[in-house]
Amino acid sequence: MLTHDEFKSRDHFDQEELLGFAYGRLIEDPPEGFRARLPVPPMLMVDRIESITGEKSKGTISASRDVRLDDWFFHCHFLDDPVQPGCLGLDGVWQLLGFYCNWRGGVGAGRALGCGEVEFFGQIRPHDSVMRYEIKVKRYTELKNAGASMVVGDASVLIDDEEIYTVKGARVGLFRDIDYPDYPEKSEHSRGGRMER
């Protein structure tokens, strides 16, 4: 486990630490309102963050995921034509941007807010090796009065060092009091729909 200050001062995270974060066990002294998580496997689309930097409103993230011959999506997408869904690569970009908000000190639960443009010009197959994300954070903002933070970034997704996707204007926000910790019980957060702006 890491203290919150140690977490914010780190410039890399291994698989065990990312899993600890996903399960809510990485930070021993989370600040009030710290509810963010990465998805747990099989939806976790990153194995390690090799480098994470931030200065003022900008930053970078370099991260990777090992392709596994038996990844769950190769069994169903598609029969006799296994390919990783492009939307999972995009989700990996959102996961990393949400993590970045937490790493910069934001609190609340993370939600993807959209992206400007996505272009796919390659594919990921079962015998590929390493998927890599290279993200340029264009803007990180904390909205103290609203208890929220937001990040906007552009990304390249590569397979075995060959660029196959580009993402422009991916956006993620952290928001207080929107999580659903008492799942599956019915509560004020047990139904979705439009969030207030």
Active site residues: 77
DSSP state of 94: H
DSSP string, 129-194: -EEEEEEEEEEEEEEGGGTEEEEEEEEEEEETTEEEEEEEEEEEEEETT---TTTTS--TTS---P
Can you give the length of the chain in residues? Answer: 197
Distance CA 151, CA 174 (A): 9
Please check whether residue 2 is in contact with residue 28, taking contact to mean a CB–CB distance below 8 angstroms.
yes
Decide the pairing of beta strands 148-159 and 130-143.
antiparallel
- Residue 66: strand pairing partners: 130
> Is the bond into 42 cis (omega within 30 degrees of 0)?
yes
H-run or E-run covering 9: helix 4-9
Per-residue exposure over 136-158, b if at least 16 CB sit within 10 Å of its own CB, e if not: ebbebebeeeeebbbbbbbbebb
